[in-house]
Structure 1
Amino acid sequence: MSSQFELAQNPTDPISAVKFAPKTPTRLLVSSWDRHVYLYDTHAEPGGKLLQTFEHRAPVLDVCFGRDDNEAFSAGLDWEVRRIDLSNGAQTVLSTHSAGVRNVLFSAPHNLLVSAAWDSKLHLHDLSRAGEFSTVTLPSKPFSLTASPTKLVVAMANRAVNIYDLDALAKAAQQGDNVNVEPWQRRESSMKYMTRAVACMPNDAGYASSSIEGRVAVEWFDPSEESQARKYAFKCHRQPVDGQDVVYPVHALVFHPIHGTFASGGGDGVVALWDAVAKRRIRQYQRFPASVQTIAFSGDGKFMAVGVSPGFEDGVDDVPDGVMKVFIRELTDTEAQPKKK
């Protein structure tokens, strides 16, 4: 039986990211516009237990775990990339961008922390070299960042997508200062509108991206014509209102670590599961009380965290109390499996 519950103590402003710990499937980080990172044990007691909060100087836009379940990295509107020691609360600034930092991502196989900021720069931090980082200049503003075991995909403004080889980035991180790393591939999004999110397949074969205009595209890394001919895009997260199709942005995309299916979350408050290979929707969950901003699966694939907040899609800027919520869903063994042919 799958079950779902809401965390008891939620952030007070919109939620920017939810991330599970690599080893402990009930350990969850949540970052928020309320300038805090929250650490939960989702199953310590009913409604989960808030273990600790970590205050920042400005809204936090992203968070991730690091080399173990007690290390985290955060990024936000204070322009800083920070390391947080979750066991004692100590925060260290690893680097400072010259604009808000949108994403932070850790690649364990490469011991590499990558931050992407609105100054159109990536900062590469080799975690074995404390206090040093290298800078890569991007062609335009980054909107979303994702990694597979060997590739880093950066989705940017002007529908540009750069795919980097992580080995090359890890080497560049050891050089310090500004480095020129040529992308492994440069692509243009196959969707007409701005990219909102991007997520790599766990099997290293390709990635999915979503747009502000209710679409998801799926493509493969392999540059051969045959592989490129397989790429496709589809419409989703649309709701009929008074006979009109209302289109919502697709804010969240994440692949299931075991089954390779993926979840999408939209401004319509809906989460859907998809089979990328068979091009089918597996299931759609009942609507959440607000826009779905972010989704994560636990490393063992048993839990799904969904962060909902007002998405301002309806033009309302005031954020009412109590609409920021994190839901934890316990998946059945077959819930995220591809459908049998």
Structure 2
Amino acid sequence: MSSHQFELAQNPTDAISAVKFAPNSPDRLLVSSWDRHVYLYKTKGEPGGELIRKYEHRAPVLDVCFGKDDNEAFSCGLDQDVRRIDLETGEQTVLSSHDAGVRNVIYSPEHNILISGSWDSSLHIHNLENSTAVPATIPLPSKPFSLSLTATKLVVAMASRAVNIYDLTSLATMIGQSATTTPPNIVEVEPWQRRESSMKYMTRAVACMPNDAGYASSSIEGRVAVEWFDPSPESQARKYAFKCHRNSVEGQDIVYPVNALAFHPIHGTFASGGGDGVVALWDGVAKRRIRQYQKFPASVSCISFSSDGRYMAVGVSPGFEDGKEDLSDGVVKVFIRELADNEAAGRKQK
């Protein structure tokens, strides 16, 4: 199979905050936008895919994810609410409200819990088995910037270069035990591990390895770090960080933020997307770049791989690194790339 790339025909009208493929359908894609909408696309079929439906919100939407199946979604944003969306009927239900904008929402199928991270420096843990329970609020030491999880771990990357890693099983158990119908349900939870980012500058994104072994994180200063969960000295000695998304212009190093990270679900390699409009594929174990794609027309804001690993969605939007104060007239597009066989394979698999 050869690679093939196209852009969606009906794009959002303002900056794209997230792109997420469905857990079971490799051609079903959710896109959230600052234009106050969540978009549902079928990426196959018509030229440029097909916009199935739009779901309007009260304020810019900062994140979206699928739930237990391809017809359930969750969203969050500047209206401070965490919502469930029935993608078939369009019905929206507010599950909880934070005290500030909500940056991330993420679903754990293994534990049927939904986790939201807000700039009010808290997590809300929603027990979806119990619709009457008030979500548990876990205080954080600082604002969360990015969340990612595996079957057993939740990684929370925050301001002040702090990283908390939670054990999901004990988290889900504790939430079940603390279930109450009376707010506020504040639960003090000790993380499984507390870490400090390997990078000197603010964390922009975090993404967990599909094999549950560790995670990658990126910074505003053109670097990516790769780390392992295993706390043994041998495993911790393997962690490293590297420079990327940089250009040399007339002898001067221009450094861009690394806005997006996503692991390939089959090969375990990962993609990074930067303010330079570039997406690169990396083999984190072999410590090498596999390939770098042709530059996109604007800053890369988000990346997602389909569950079968055949497709990569790339959201591009104008970024402040373009040197513009007004970002309203820039390019806003979603690109879908159909990957060739072994295009994302690491060294061992080729």
TM-score interval (norm. to shorter)? over 0.9
C-alpha distance in structure 2 between counterparts of 1:181 and 1:112, whole Å: 16
**TM-score scaled by length of structure 1:** 0.98
Give, as a single letter, the amino acid of the residue that structure 2 aligns with 1:185.
Q
Equivalence map 1:278-293=2 (5 Å): 278-293=286-301
CA gap 1:237/1:322 in 2 versus in 1, 3 angstroms: closer
TM-superposition CA deviations, 1:251-307 (whole Å, max 9, x none): 000100000000000000000000000000000000000000000000000000000
Instruction: Please tell me whether residue 136 in structure 1 is matched to residue 135 in structure 2.
Output: no
1:314 aligns to what?
Answer: 322
TM-superposition CA deviations, 1:38-78 (whole Å, max 9, x none): 00000021100000000000000000000000000000000
Equivalence map 1:55-94=2 (5 Å): 55-94=56-95
1:100 aligns to what?
Answer: 101
SS in structure 2 of the partner of residue 67 of structure 1: coil
Of the three residues 159, 162, 165, the one matched with 1:163 is: 165
C-alpha distance in structure 1 between counterparts of 2:258 and 2:335, whole Å: 18
2:182 aligns to what?
Answer: none
SS in structure 2 of the partner of residue 336 of structure 1: coil
Equivalence map 1:235-250=2 (5 Å): 235-250=243-258
C-alpha distance in structure 2 between counterparts of 1:221 and 1:84, whole Å: 33
C-alpha distance in structure 1 between counterparts of 2:80 and 2:171, whole Å: 22
Measure how far apart 1:242 and its partner are: 2.0
TM-superposition CA deviations, 1:132-180 (whole Å, max 9, x none): 2111000110000000110000000000000000012212322231111
Unaligned runs of 5+ in 1: none
Instruction: Please tell me whether residue 257 in structure 1 is matched to residue 265 in structure 2.
Output: yes
1:182 aligns to what?
Answer: 190
Measure how far apart 1:311 and its partner are: 1.1
**TM-score scaled by length of structure 2:** 0.96
C-alpha distance in structure 2 between counterparts of 1:75 and 1:113, whole Å: 12
- Indicate if the aligned counterparts of 1:12 and 1:322 stay in contact, CA closer than 8 A: no
C-alpha distance in structure 1 between counterparts of 2:339 and 2:130, whole Å: 39
C-alpha distance in structure 2 between counterparts of 1:52 and 1:315, whole Å: 34
Of the three residues 153, 156, 179, the one matched with 2:155 is: 153
2:342 aligns to what?
Answer: 334
SS in structure 2 of the partner of residue 109 of structure 1: coil
Measure how far apart 1:181 and its partner are: 1.3
SS in structure 1 of the partner of residue 105 of structure 2: strand
Instruction: Please tell me whether residue 274 in structure 1 is matched to residue 282 in structure 2.
Output: yes
- Indicate if the aligned counterparts of 1:17 and 1:63 stay in contact, CA closer than 8 A: yes
C-alpha distance in structure 1 between counterparts of 2:320 and 2:201, whole Å: 18
Unaligned runs of 5+ in 2: 180-184
C-alpha distance in structure 2 between counterparts of 1:240 and 1:315, whole Å: 17
- Indicate if the aligned counterparts of 1:62 and 1:103 stay in contact, CA closer than 8 A: yes
TM-superposition CA deviations, 1:299-341 (whole Å, max 9, x none): 0000000000001113313235461000000001110000249
Of the three residues 294, 302, 305, the one matched with 2:310 is: 302
1:20 aligns to what?
Answer: 21
C-alpha distance in structure 2 between counterparts of 1:219 and 1:320, whole Å: 37
Moved over 6 A (4+): none
Give, as a single letter, the amino acid of the residue that structure 2 aligns with 1:11.
P
C-alpha distance in structure 1 between counterparts of 2:96 and 2:325, whole Å: 32
Query: Which range moves more in the overlay, 326-335 or 240-249?
Result: 240-249
C-alpha distance in structure 1 between counterparts of 2:298 and 2:43, whole Å: 21
- Indicate if the aligned counterparts of 1:237 and 1:249 stay in contact, CA closer than 8 A: yes
* Aligned positions, number: 341
C-alpha distance in structure 1 between counterparts of 2:326 and 2:270, whole Å: 32
1:193 aligns to what?
Answer: 201
Measure how far apart 1:241 and its partner are: 1.5
Query: Which range moves more in the overlay, 264-273 or 164-173?
Result: 164-173
SS in structure 2 of the partner of residue 313 of structure 1: helix
Equivalence map 1:211-226=2 (5 Å): 211-226=219-234
